[in-house]
Amino acid sequence: MPSPAEPGRGAGAAPSGVLAVVGDLVEDIVVWAGEPVRTATDTAAQVFRTRGGSAANVAALAAAHLPTRFIGRIGADAAGEALVADLASRGVDVRVQRAGSTGAVVLLVATDGEGTMFPDRGASAELSEVDAAWLDGLAWLHAPAYGFEREPMRGELLRLAALARGAGAQTSLDASSTGLIAGLGVEAAHELLRAFAPDVLFANEDEAALLGLAGGGALAASVARTVVVKHGPLPTDVITGGELVARVDVPPVSGIRDLTGAGDAFAAGFLAATLGGADVAAACATGHASAASVLMSPGAPPR
């Protein structure tokens, strides 16, 4: 199985085995502000409804390149079924539990593309007691750290990671958000990362700084085999065993309107390339191209 810790390898054979992504599938209500927000009165805007959820975003984009399975929970409602149908139409093998109400996230996107999220995760945060058969054929398990926000899903993610490792699969986590990390507490976040034991941890610049991982070192080595730190338009750093092993330039992108889902798209491209045998530099380049594909459309799905 390909390893992200081998910077000298190039692309190899077609992926073998399934990429399973565990986590959120929600409706995104995306608000593109047409001007600076004017508090307590009207602000010109465009409003879009799209399929969202960090885990679902990764699965939808990765499915174009390798067998991909989504594992999560939706509400017992029409909104959830529509989201499942969207994922399935993109080639994802969708395995969901159904209970409660499907979650939704309002994303307020400023004119510079930066977004502010107002999440109501609903059923997506209540995943528990996943059938172990849903991991059959697994080569890699990926999850957003949003699943650590509360129980029962926190414990379920750790259980699934242990099952994946026991089956010989590799694992990855996305740090998700500084708000999540601050809410958990940095030390608690470190302990959860160590318990999950990801082969790859994805983090943006702010998340890596809050976790104390940006410079590498013993702390970075203790929470993940490889830490991938994204710096927006600046080069992406790959830290393995606490040491910087690659710094990969990001091609310039013009016309950026919405940064929503760019990190998820990067993860999808990186994982698909890694499972195809690419080295970390090539995997980052694929991740950059995947991220660029979502920057001009509302929400995460490219249009």
Catalytic positions: 264
| Residue 114 neighbours by CB distance under 10 Å | 12
In what helix (H) or strand (E) does residue 287 lie, and over which residues does it extend? helix 280-292
Q: What are phi and psi of 26, to 5 degrees?
A: -140, 170
Structure tokens at 180: 């999540």
Q: Whose structure tokens read 């995947």?
A: 290
Please list the residues that pair with 275 across neighbouring strands: none
Q: What is the 3-state secondary structure (H, E, C) of 30-93?
A: EEEECCCCCCCCCCCEEEEEEEECHHHHHHHHHCCCCCEEEEEEECCCHHHHHHHHHHHHCCCE
By DSSP bridging, strand 68-74 and strand 93-98 are parallel
For residues 29, 90, 25, 22, the Cα torsion angle rounded to the nearest 10 degrees is -150
Q: What does the DSSP 8-state code read for residue 184? A: H
Instruction: Give the separation between CA 136 and CA 93, rounded to whole angstroms.
Output: 12
